[in-house]
Structure 1
Amino acid sequence: MDEISRHTEDKEMFRPAMANRSLQSCTVIPVLIYDDVADAIEWLCRTFGFTERLRAGKHHAQLTIGDGAIMLSDSRSGQEFDSPDDAEFLSPRSKEVKHEILVNVKDVNKHYKNAHSRGARILRKPKDCMFGERQYTVEDLGGHRWTFSQTIADVDPKEWGAIKARTE
């Protein structure tokens, strides 16, 4: 068994060794880059239903939704960079998609109506998918793509052509 396979079998590897009040205890926390973190906090909370967990100055924040979390970081555009590596902290460029975030919600139609009424750029209206989800996709004020999903049926992955990778 190779090193990566051996580690992914060990689920304890993905649990924090101790609690830290400065960081949400999720296994995966996306960090999204925005030109204006304060505007992004307000917009994401109002439009998508996030809750602000903490803020560090004008350049960093943590938001929660359900049992998930995201972090926001300043793009530092137009500022002096602390190191050459910091130059990588730039907002997504127009028409360049590098990621999409999926968030499970209880009522996708209600969520869609709220996002639409608050000016979210709708990329795909709610639709039922063959894998048992009803989803819609939007773009936020920073150019990040979000898909909001509601489970509407328990569908065997084989029914739509997926193959289960391993047995839990």
Structure 2
Amino acid sequence: MIQNRSVPPASVIPELAYDDVVEASEWLCKAFGFRQRLRIGSHRVQLVFGDGALIVIERKKTEGDRSDALTHAVLVRVDDADRHHEQAVRAGARILQPPTDFPYGERQYNAEDLGGHHWTFSESIA
């Protein structure tokens, strides 16, 4: 595969649509620890987290839009779920499930961002 320097090197790159791309990308950096990689105008921003990537795109309004339906979830691996959770709470994230230990060896919490997108942040504990 040819590597395009303008695209993050991750194999899978979710694109999440928001009404205000700039506001959303800044909030994701502040609340969840992403870092801006590339901004293209006010309609597209590439974010990175470790070796992962995310592209924030402009939400397009269409006839019969089902924007209230949950159509995805994004899982992000973190070093410390509790510390990350505290950062998200301080930034105003809506917490759907507090940090919880699971029998499959992960400590996870779930949050909703300002665009209604659901996130799972996961720390390996076993």
Question: Scaled by the length of structure 2, what TM-score is found?
Answer: 0.94
User: Residue in 1 aligned with 2:67?
Assistant: 92
The alignment's C-alpha RMSD in Å is: 1.4
User: Residue in 2 aligned with 1:148?
Assistant: 121
User: Residue in 1 aligned with 2:89?
Assistant: 116
Does structure 1 residue 65 correspond to structure 2 residue 43? no
Higher helix share goes to which structure? 1
Distance 1:91 1:59, change over 3 A: farther
CA distance in 1, matches of 2:9, 2:90: 32
Does structure 1 residue 27 correspond to structure 2 residue 17? no
Higher strand share goes to which structure? 2
CA distance in 1, matches of 2:13, 2:67: 18
Does structure 1 residue 55 correspond to structure 2 residue 39? yes
Unaligned 5+ segments in structure 1 are: 1-16, 78-86, 154-168
% same residue: 50
User: Residue in 1 aligned with 2:99?
Assistant: 126
Question: Scaled by the length of structure 1, what TM-score is found?
Answer: 0.71
Which structure has more relative contact order (CA 8 Å, sep 6+)? It is: 2
In the TM superposition, structure 1's runs of 4+ consecutive aligned residues that sit over 2 Å from their partners are none
CA distance in 2, matches of 1:151, 1:102: 13
CA distance in 1, matches of 2:47, 2:92: 20
| Shift in Å, 1:25 | 1.1
